[in-house]
Amino acid sequence: MNLPSHHAISRNNVAVAQIKAGQYRSSISGLTAAIHSFKHLITSTETGITNGPNTIVIDDFINEISLFTDTDDAESQYLYDDPIRIPEVPCADGCSNNAIGSTYLECSMISSVVVFNLALAHHLEADRLQKLHHEEGQSDKSTSDEEPTSDEEIYAGFRKAQQLYEIVLNMHRDVQGKKCACDRGANVVFALAIVNNLGLIHRELHNNDASRKCFQHILSTLMCLTDAGYGDRLSSKLHPFFVNVTPLISKTRVASAG
């Protein structure tokens, strides 16, 4: 059993449960510890097996149902808010043994999942504080036991999430560029989730050009996947990402008609 990998993955999965319970601040420390563990694992495996077989596909860890949105609001925005749990394989003696995380490539891929979850935790916490701040502004008396939130605190949270999404996007691109990264798939849904959430962060921070570029990239990717025949196979995971690019499709059609 790869014990360091097991501990790091376990930390990630505990944090996943905390995020789903709305305990965003509590999840951040566990995810940070998991990232430090994987940094050590990546360093220790860098001179070892770097081109061994890739045994994981991050897209396999992404749930399908959680990707759907049930809102009919034309102004709604789709946020991929489902943290990614890394499977743990039970041993015969009752322990938890992970069949992943023993090579440089696998450690790099799993660490990108953990960084994504950390970005999501900061994103959701900033979003929570923003809603709380709005409620405080609408009422003369706060109904929360928390200290009043400030614009600076909210901005700092979104900025931290932005930085982490950009880091994980670069990590993902680097991993996909490795020789064995395409053994079992391109993890396209994972990439779409990163860019989608980054686009929403840019929108919150009024970086309109950067936000538009993110959603244009998503639209181009979705069109390429559809043209390549992957639309039907991945429809349950790709469908929600059309929510944020629908305005771009409408503008394209209007321009074509003109």
What's the pLDDT tens digit per position in 34-67? 998 877 777 766 655 444 555 678 888 887 644 4
Residue ranges with strand state E in 1-111: 89-90, 96-97
Tokens 């690019």, located at residue: 245
Q: 145-192 pLDDT, tens per residue?
A: 666 678 999 999 999 999 999 999 999 988 877 745 445 457 899 999
CA 174-121-225 angle, to 5 degrees, is: 45
How many other β-carbons are positioned within 10 Å of the β-carbon of residue 75? Answer: 6
pLDDT the model gives residue 60: 87
- DSSP bridge pairs for 97: 89
Collect all residues with Cβ–Cβ distance below 8 Å to 193 and sequence separation of at least 6.
62, 80, 116
How many other β-carbons are positioned within 10 Å of the β-carbon of residue 200? Answer: 24
pLDDT the model gives residue 126: 96
For the whole prediction, is pTM greater than 0.75? yes
- pLDDT for residue 19 is more than 90: yes
pLDDT the model gives residue 92: 47
- pLDDT for residue 248 is more than 60: yes
Assign 143 a pLDDT band (cuts: 50, 70, 90): low
- DSSP bridge pairs for 90: 96
Inter-residue contact 134 to 127 (CB < 8 Å): no
Q: Lowest mean pLDDT: which of 138-147, 154-163, 224-233?
A: 138-147
Residue 258 has which token pair? Answer: 């003109």
* SS3 (DSSP) at 68: coil
Q: In this structure, what DSSP letter does residue 96 have?
A: E
* SS3 (DSSP) at 55: coil
The whole-angstrom separation of Cα 159 and Cα 153 is 10
Closest CA to 114 of 157, 89, 159, 84: 84
Average pLDDT rounded to a whole number, residues 108-115: 91
Mean pLDDT of the chain: 80
pLDDT the model gives residue 79: 93
- pLDDT for residue 76 is more than 60: yes
Return the higher-pLDDT residue of 201 and 147. Answer: 201
